[in-house]
C-alpha cells in the first residue's frame, strides 16, 4: 500500500494523544514500523539514554524514495485508508503520526528506498538521494531539543534507559523470528538469534537459568512461555503480555496470569512470562490509548478465561509434586508470621518478668473515649492508643518490605488515576522498586498523572490517593539517609486505623496481639507512646488494698 494522508474523518476517529513522551516512546514507534515492514533483523542503538541518539536499522521492505517526505507528514500512513480499516487493524501502527511527532521534537535522518531525508524540529532540511541499501535506517538525534520542559522532566539516564530496554526486551521475546540487537553507548546489551524459537529468545533476554525453567504454551491461540513455579521474581518486570504481537498493559490479563499461579507462588512473587494472544482483529479494539498500550476486547471474559486455562494446564503438566506441596505450605503461612520478627523486646505488661507473648494474652475489654483500647493482662490494666499502636505495627511491616520482605498488595478493580506534579511523577518512576516493595503497582499515565493498579493491602481504598501523594512527596525530597524510614512512616500513618474508628472486640484482640509481637512496640514511629500500663501493684497502692 502506498502512503497517503488520511482523510479527516478517519484521522478524527483515531485516539489522539501525545505519543512521544520519552526516549522509549521513540524506540517503540520505530521498532513497530520495522516490524510492520516485515523486518527479520532490527538493530537498535542508544546513546545518552536516547537523548543523544536513537538509531534503528531494519531490513524490511523500506519506503519508496518518492514517499519518504510524505511518511513524515501527520496522518500519513500506508496501513489504514478508510474508516472501516480501523475496525480490524492487523499492523502495529495505524495513525500515521509517529514519524511526524518524532521529527517535530528532534533531528531525524531517515534513509530508505534509495532516498535520504533530514528533518529538524519539523523543518525539512534535506531531501534527496541516499545509499541504495535495502531496509530502513532512522536516526533520531537531540531529542526534545526544542521542548526544554520535556527535557527537564526526563528521569535519570538509568531510568530512561531501563524503560527503553524493558520495551525492547518485550518485543524481542514476542517476535523471536526477528534477529534483535541492542547496543547501549557502544556496548551490546541484547542479541537474539532470530531463529523463531521463543524459549531461546527468552533465554537470550532473561538468562539461561530462566530458559531452563520455562514451560512452553501453544494452545487455544495463546502462545509463549511461562516460568514454572520455582522460578519467580519480586516484581512484574519479566511479564510480557501481548495481543497479536503488540505488548499491552492489561490489569485483567495480568490478574488472570497471576491467579493461575495461586497456591504455587507466594504473594508478592511473580512469574516470568511472555504470552501472545492471537485474537481476531475485529474482536479487539487497539484504538483506545494514545500510546497504543491498552486494548479493549469485545469479550474480555473469554480472553481472560482462555489465558487462565492455558496457563493452568501448562503449569499442571510441568509442576513436580514436591514443589507444589512446598509452595502450598508457604502460602498457607499467615503473612504476619513471615514478617513479624520475634525479638526479645519489652512486652505489653510488666517490664520485669517477661513471659512469652503467647502465655500472656491480653483480654480486650472495649474501646473508650473514642480511640483507646482497654485490656486486662495478668499483671494489670493496659490502655492502648489504637492509632499509635497500629501505626507501629504497620511501620515495622512496611519497613521490612522495603528491606526485602514480600509485599502483599491488592489489585484495584479499576485503575485509579492520580494527578501529580512532574517531580512526583519522576519520583514514581525513579523509585519504582520501593513503591513496588510496599505493595503499589503504578503505571505512568501521561507526564502529569500516574495510574494505581494495586495498593498495599493494608491501605483502605479511600486513602490510596492521599497516601500515594505523600509518599511521592517524601521520595521526591532530597535527603536519602532516612528516606526508607520516612516512607514506611508515611505509609503506616495513612494505613492505620484512626483515632475514632470503631473496632469490634475481635479487631481489638488482633491489634493487641500484633502489638505484643512487635519490636519497639512502646512507641509509634513518631516516638509517641502506644500504651499506658497500670500495674496491679499500683492499683492496690492507690486503693490501699494491703493484701
CB of 105 vs ligand ADP, minimal distance in Å = 14
- The angle subtended at Cα 210 by Cα 231 and Cα 291, nearest 5°, is 95
Cite the beta strand spans of 420-530 per DSSP E. 441-444, 449-456
Whole-number Cα distances in Å, 533 to 55, 225, 383, 386, 530: 69, 58, 6, 14, 10
Among 49, 98, 172, 428, binds ligand ADP (CB under 6 A): 98
- The angle subtended at Cα 501 by Cα 515 and Cα 393, nearest 5°, is 20
Among 10, 45, 51, 94, binds ligand ADP (CB under 6 A): 94
By CB under 6 A, is residue 136 in contact with ligand ADP?
A: yes
By CB under 6 A, is residue 270 in contact with ligand ADP?
A: no
| Contacts of the segment 362-365: beta carbons below 8 A, 24+ positions apart | 362/509, 362/512, 362/513, 362/516, 364/505, 364/508, 364/509, 364/512
Binding mask 33-52 for ligand ADP (x = CB under 6 A): xx--x---------------
| Residue-wise DSSP of 150-206 | HHHT---HHHHHHHHHHHHHHHHHH-TTSEEEEEETTEEEEE---SS-HHHHHHHHH
Among 21, 25, 28, 29, binds ligand ADP (CB under 6 A): 29
Among 26, 44, 46, 99, binds ligand ADP (CB under 6 A): 99
Q: Which does 385 bind (CB under 5 to 8 A by kind): Mg ion, ligand ADP, none?
A: none
> In the numeric block, which cell numbers belong to residue 474?
517524601
- Residue ranges of alpha helices (H) inside 46-156 are 68-71, 98-104, 148-152
Among 78, 159, 254, 495, binds ligand ADP (CB under 6 A): 78
CB of 433 vs ligand ADP, minimal distance in Å = 33
By CB under 6 A, is residue 115 in contact with ligand ADP?
A: no
Among 63, 117, 222, 291, binds ligand ADP (CB under 6 A): 63
CA distance 307 to 257: 7
- Residue ranges of alpha helices (H) inside 4-67 are 8-12, 23-36
**Among the residue ranges 7-15, 72-80, 315-323, 376-384, the one whose residues contact ligand ADP (CB under 6 A):** 72-80
Which bin fits 520, alpha (ψ -120 to 50), beta or left (φ > 0)? left
By CB under 6 A, is residue 62 in contact with ligand ADP?
A: yes
> In the numeric block, which cell numbers belong to residue 95?
495513525
Q: Which does 44 bind (CB under 5 to 8 A by kind): ligand ADP, Mg ion, none?
A: none
Size of the site for ligand ADP (CB under 6 A): 24
Helix (H, G, I), strand (E, B) or coil at 142: coil
By CB under 6 A, is residue 25 in contact with ligand ADP?
A: no
Q: Which does 94 bind (CB under 5 to 8 A by kind): Mg ion, ligand ADP, none?
A: ligand ADP
Nearer to ligand ADP, 34 or 264 (CB): 34
Nearest residue to ligand ADP, by Cβ distance, number only: 93
Q: Determine whether 320 is exposed, middle or buried from the number of CB atoms within 10 Å of its CB (0-12, 13-18, 19+).
A: exposed
CB of 62 vs ligand ADP, minimal distance in Å = 5
CA distance 200 to 193: 8
CB of 277 vs ligand ADP, minimal distance in Å = 22
CB of 75 vs ligand ADP, minimal distance in Å = 9
Q: Which does 402 bind (CB under 5 to 8 A by kind): ligand ADP, Mg ion, none?
A: none
Nearer to ligand ADP, 287 or 338 (CB): 287
Q: Which does 77 bind (CB under 5 to 8 A by kind): Mg ion, ligand ADP, none?
A: ligand ADP
> In the numeric block, which cell numbers belong to residue 365?
475489654
By CB under 6 A, name the binding residues for ligand ADP: 3, 29, 33-34, 37, 58, 60-63, 71, 76-79, 93-100, 136
Amino acid at each position: 500500500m502506498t502512503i497517503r494522508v488520511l482523510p479527516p474523518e478517519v484521522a478524527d476517529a483515531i485516539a489522539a494523544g501525545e505519543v512521544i513522551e520519552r526516549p522509549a516512546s521513540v524506540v517503540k514507534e520505530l521498532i513497530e514500523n520495522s516490524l510492520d515492514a516485515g523486518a527479520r533483523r532490527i538493530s537498535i542503538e542508544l546513546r545518552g539514554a536516547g537523548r543523544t541518539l536513537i538509531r534503528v536499522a531494519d531490513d524490511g521492505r523500506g519506503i519508496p524514495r518518492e514517499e519518504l517526505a510524505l511518511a513524515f507528514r501527520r496522518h500519513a500512513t500506508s496501513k489504514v485508508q478508510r474508516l472501516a480499516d480501523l475496525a480490524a487493524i492487523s499492523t502495529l501502527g495505524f495513525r500515521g503520526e509517529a514519524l511526524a511527532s518524532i521529527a517535530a521534537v528532534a533531528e531525524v535522518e531517515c534513509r530508505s528506498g534509495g532516498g535520504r531525508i533530514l528533518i529538524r524540529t519539523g523543518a525539512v532540511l534535506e531531501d534527496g538521494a541516499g545509499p541504495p541499501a535495502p531496509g530502513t535506517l532512522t536516526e533520531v538525534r537531540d531529542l526534545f531539543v526544542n521542548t526544554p520542559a520535556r527535557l527537564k522532566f526526563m528521569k535519570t539516564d538509568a531510568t530512561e534507559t531501563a524503560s527503553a530496554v524493558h520495551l525492547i526486551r518485550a518485543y524481542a521475546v514476542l517476535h523471536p523470528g526477528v534477529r534483535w540487537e541492542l547496543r547501549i553507548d557502544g556496548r551490546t546489551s541484547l542479541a537474539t538469534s532470530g531463529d523463531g524459537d521463543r524459549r531461546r529468545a527468552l533465554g537470550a533476554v532473561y538468562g539461561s537459568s530462566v530458559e531452563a525453567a520455562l514451560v512452553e504454551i501453544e494452545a487455544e491461540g495463546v502462545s509463549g512461555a511461562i516460568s514454572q513455579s520455582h522460578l519467580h521474581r519480586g516484581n512484574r518486570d519479566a511479564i510480557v503480555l501481548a495481543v497479536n504481537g503488540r505488548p499491552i498493559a492489561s490489569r485483567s490479563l495480568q490478574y488472570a496470569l497471576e491467579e493461575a499461579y495461586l497456591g504455587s507462588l507466594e504473594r508478592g512473587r511473580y512469574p516470568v512470562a511472555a504470552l501472545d494472544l492471537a485474537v481476531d482483529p475485529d474482536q479487539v479494539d487497539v484504538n483506545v490509548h494514545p500510546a497504543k498500550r491498552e486494548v479493549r476486547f469485545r469479550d474480555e471474559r473469554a480472553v481472560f478465561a482462555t489465558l487462565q486455562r492455558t496457563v493452568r494446564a501448562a503449569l499442571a503438566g510441568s509442576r513436580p509434586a514436591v514443589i507444589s506441596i512446598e509452595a502450598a505450605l508457604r502460602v498457607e503461612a499467615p503473612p504476619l508470621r513471615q514478617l513479624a520478627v520475634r525479638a526479645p523486646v519489652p512486652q505489653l505488661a510488666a517490664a520485669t518478668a517477661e513471659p512469652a507473648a503467647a502465655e500472656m494474652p491480653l483480654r480486650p475489654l472495649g474501646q473508650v473515649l473514642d480511640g483507646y483500647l482497654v485490656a486486662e493482662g495478668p499483671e494489670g490494666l493496659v490502655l492502648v492508643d489504637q492509632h499509635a499502636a497500629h501505626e507501629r505495627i504497620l511501620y515495622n511491616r512496611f519497613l521490612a518490605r522495603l528491606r526485602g520482605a514480600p509485599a502483599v498488595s491488592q489489585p484495584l478493580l479499576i485503575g485509579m488515576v492520580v494527578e501529580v506534579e512532574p517531580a512526583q511523577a519522576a519520583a514514581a518512576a525513579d523509585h519504582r522498586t520501593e513503591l513496588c516493595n510496599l505493595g503499589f503497582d503504578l503505571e505512568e499515565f501521561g507526564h502529569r498523572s500516574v495510574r494505581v493498579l494495586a495498593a498495599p493491602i493494608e491501605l483502605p481504598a479511600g486513602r490510596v490517593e492521599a497516601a500515594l501523594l505523600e509518599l511521592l512527596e517524601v521520595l521526591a525530597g532530597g535527603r536519602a539517609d532516612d528516606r526508607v524510614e520516612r516512607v514506611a512512616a508515611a505509609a503506616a500513618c495513612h494505613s492505620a486505623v484512626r483515632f475514632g474508628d470503631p473496632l469490634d472486640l475481635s479487631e481489638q484482640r488482633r491489634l493487641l496481639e500484633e502489638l505484643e509481637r512487635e519490636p519497639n512496640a512502646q512507641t509509634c514511629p513518631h516516638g509517641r507512646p502506644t500504651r499506658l500500663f497500670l500495674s496491679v501493684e499500683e492499683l492496690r497502692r492507690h486503693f490501699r488494698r494491703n493484701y
